[in-house]
Structure 1
Amino acid sequence: MKNKLYTLLALGMLSISACQPSQRTEVATTQDIDAAAVRQVLEEQAACWSAGDLECYMQGYWKSDSLLFIGSRGLTYGWQQTLDNYKRGYPDVSAMGKLAFDLKEFRQLSPETMLVVGKWHLQRDAEKGDLEGHFSVIFRKFPEGWRVIADHSS
């Protein structure tokens, strides 16, 4: 009698588990949602750059005198100074080329900050030649969305 009871319980458990989905449905985490929003900012920046629109590209940056950009020429502070440097370094659409990012890593540093590491590539005509390098950017979440607060590009 005891064995029959155990058999019935086991069969009941099997039938219950057979009704359950075999794989859990993935639920997007806050970090996934934040990473997607940051990825969107970078995609918009690449599109703006590739269209030759530096002001549009700069919308992905924090519009502050405290913005930090680190490049081959050292440190730059401020949104306007960063834009001015880009305009000097890339005076026309042919110098700018087409920008593509290869995003390697996203690290949530806090609920309001995220580190992104990747490669950048500028496809330009043969005369100017392609350029590429690596970058790490720190994004911060503002009421208007995610913005780069520090950029180290090489």
Structure 2
Amino acid sequence: MKQLFFLLLLITAISTNAQTKDKQHILAILDAQTKYWNAGDLENFMKGYWKSDSLMFIGKSGVTYGYNNTLENYKKGYPTRDAMGILKFNILKVEKITADAYFVVGKWHLTREKVGDVEGHYTLFFKKIKGEWVIVADHSS
């Protein structure tokens, strides 16, 4: 009986450690996105997203499908450094759904001197694809 108990403890510890590492990796992606955005580098900001025609971005204009379309929308919506401003994320929730999927909820805020600050909320669906965590769906408002 003791062996079974210790085996269960070991499995729980391994599972918790893997979940912690996955969460840390996802938070690191969001941190990198913030740094790239604040450097005016949309190309590298997009590295957090799934490079696929199936990527889904939902915003005030509706649903956009595809990595390239999403990047082009960012470029149109934020054509200058002044428009981009300084991005800050406030993570409200990071929840494991399955072994290869996480749900993230947060707030975003852009500090913009010339055109005024804007902010909203986002929901991200992260999926582990080919060993890498990527955003496969983003609903930002």
Distance in 1 between residues matched to 2:80 and 2:52, nearest whole Å: 25
> Structure 1: where are the runs of 5+ without partners?
1-26
Deviation digits for residues 63-122 of structure 1 (CA, Å, limit 9, x no counterpart): 000000000000000000000000000001110011110000011111111000000011
Say whether 1:136 aligns with 2:123: yes
> Secondary structure in 1 aligned to 2:115?
coil
Map of 1:94 onto structure 2:
82
Equivalent residue runs for 1:1-154 within 5 Å: 29-125=17-113, 127-154=114-141
Deviation at 1:142, TM superposition (A): 2.2
Distance in 1 between residues matched to 2:110 and 2:70, nearest whole Å: 18
Deviation digits for residues 44-66 of structure 1 (CA, Å, limit 9, x no counterpart): 00000010010010000000000
Map of 1:5 onto structure 2:
none
Map of 2:3 onto structure 1:
none
Deviation at 1:29, TM superposition (A): 2.3
* TM-score, length-scaled by structure 2: 0.87
Deviation at 1:33, TM superposition (A): 1.1
Distance in 2 between residues matched to 1:91 and 1:130, nearest whole Å: 16
How many residue pairs get aligned? The number is 127
Distance in 2 between residues matched to 1:144 and 1:124, nearest whole Å: 36
User: Aligned-residue CA RMSD in angstroms?
Assistant: 1.0
Q: Which amino acid aligns with 1:143?
A: K
> Secondary structure in 1 aligned to 2:83?
helix
Deviation at 1:143, TM superposition (A): 2.9
Distance in 2 between residues matched to 1:79 and 1:144, nearest whole Å: 19
